[in-house]
A and B are shown apart, each in its own frame.
Chain A
Amino acid sequence: MHWPIDLIVLTFVIFCAIAAISVKDLLGTAILFGAYSFMMCLLWAIMGAVDVAFTEASVGAGVSTVFFVAAVFRTSRRTKD
């Protein structure tokens, strides 16, 4: 494993996580959450956990985001924090 790549991806992961919970629009949260999952998936692929990365790519970045957008579509984008 090349640690500079790892470090960059990890930084992105943390950035996406903080952004996802602090953005004041739930649709934005949905997208950032998808990005977070995708970054996580990259990280795991780098660490050699291909099966887990595959699952996270299809579930976390794929289906979860769709569920999220669907739920936001049926509720509201508004959020106070």
Chain B
Amino acid sequence: MKFLGFIVVCLTGALLLYGTGQFPAWGDPGSPASTHLSNYYIEKTVEQTQVPNIVTAVLADYRGFDTMFETSVIFCAGLTCFLLLRDFTEKKERFYRHRPTGVILHVKDSEKVLKVGKEFEHIDKDFVPSDLIIKTVCRILIPFIQIYALYVVAHGDFSPGGGFQGGVIFGSSLILLAISYDLKTLVERIKEKVLGIFAAVGVLIYVGIATICMPMGGNFLNYGMLAPLLPGDPRHVRALGMLGVEIGVGLAVMAVMAIIYINIVSEGRHDEGL
């Protein structure tokens, strides 16, 4: 296998090097890639869409159709992880900790579930007493991360960022909660059902905004047709359409990141994690 791999790699490398020979000079402003389409985008974007960040404009408007399917890819990844790993069977082996004394109860092969409350708490198999410093720092940090994520989503039109990045950052704030406390804290705060619905609704917002344009008289995804539905300056309607779409992307990505993490780290049982 190693030898075969080596030969395949060398052949590919040789092909690519052969192709590199006639590349245009590095960073040449006159190369075909930088003259044909890109000039149109650079010069017309602000005029046509009122969005200064050209990347966002091209992503969500000119090539919005790609981005719609990109969001579907993410949704599909979340769904796949759920389908592959989710295991609804309850584990027979459970661990409880008596809060006042710190005594740990190990329950084997029992259908009986102890009532968790003031006296007892559920714990993981490898119990580590939660670290006060980490907990406190994370508790302060998480809201700020989330606000930053919202900022990234909302400000995607003017600065680097957008729905996808914002969604990932929001999702990682949830993951941070799961790591610094424990997985159960996260699963109790945000139910699996909510995450699943968020993922579908996020993509649905995107496809829905795109579909509404058709009965309004335009082509699919043509945000310009949404003007009668939206308040404000009709010139900004494309920017508003993009914002709506980005919110959908952010919602879907946030939910999917959390779903993937929860399922991988607990092998689909949603009980204990990192």
**Are the chains A and B members of one assembly?**
yes
Interface assignment of A23: CB less than 8 Å from any CB of chain B: no
- Please name all residues of chain A whose beta carbon is closer than 8 Å to the beta carbon of B168 when the two chains form the complex: 55, 58-59, 62-63
CA gap between A63 and B168 in the complex, in Å:
7
Determine which of A50, A51, A54, A63 lies in contact with B171 in the assembled complex, contact meaning CB atoms within 8 Å: A63
Q: Is the CB–CB distance between B257 and A73 below 8 Å?
A: no
CA gap between A63 and B261 in the complex, in Å:
9
Interface assignment of B64: CB less than 8 Å from any CB of chain A: no
Query: A66 and B261 in contact (CB under 8 A), knowing A58-B172, A74-B267?
Result: yes
Query: A54 and B165 in contact (CB under 8 A), knowing A70-B273, A73-B274?
Result: yes
- Please name all residues of chain B whose beta carbon is closer than 8 Å to the beta carbon of A9 when the two chains form the complex: none
Residues of A within 8 A of B (CB): 1, 50-51, 53-55, 58-59, 62-63, 66-67, 69-71, 73-74
Query: A69 and B260 in contact (CB under 8 A), knowing A50-B160, A51-B55?
Result: no
- B53, chain A: closest CB distance, angstroms: 8
Between-chain CB contacts (< 8 Å), 9 pairs: A1-B27, A51-B160, A54-B165, A55-B168, A58-B172, A67-B260, A67-B264, A70-B261, A74-B267
CA gap between A34 and B4 in the complex, in Å:
29
Chain B's interface size range is 20 to 34
Chain A contact residues: helix, strand, loop or mixed? helix
- Please name all residues of chain B whose beta carbon is closer than 8 Å to the beta carbon of A53 when the two chains form the complex: 160
- Please name all residues of chain B whose beta carbon is closer than 8 Å to the beta carbon of A70 when the two chains form the complex: 261, 264-265, 273-274
Q: Is the CB–CB distance between B257 and A51 below 8 Å?
A: no
Interface assignment of B162: CB less than 8 Å from any CB of chain A: yes
Residues of B within 8 A of A (CB): 27, 53, 55-56, 160-162, 164-165, 168-169, 171-172, 175, 179, 257, 260-261, 264-265, 267, 273-274
Q: Is the CB–CB distance between B160 and A62 below 8 Å?
A: no
- Residue among B160, B161, B164, B274 facing the most chain A CB atoms (10 A cut-off): B160
- Please name all residues of chain B whose beta carbon is closer than 8 Å to the beta carbon of A71 when the two chains form the complex: 264
- Residue among A50, A62, A69, A70 facing the most chain B CB atoms (10 A cut-off): A70
Q: Is the CB–CB distance between B265 and A54 below 8 Å?
A: no
- B204, chain A: closest CB distance, angstroms: 23
Q: Is the CB–CB distance between B165 and A55 below 8 Å?
A: yes
Closest partner residue, chain A, to B260 (CB atom): A67
- A7, chain B: closest CB distance, angstroms: 13
- Please name all residues of chain A whose beta carbon is closer than 8 Å to the beta carbon of B274 when the two chains form the complex: 69-70, 73
Q: Is the CB–CB distance between B172 and A54 below 8 Å?
A: no
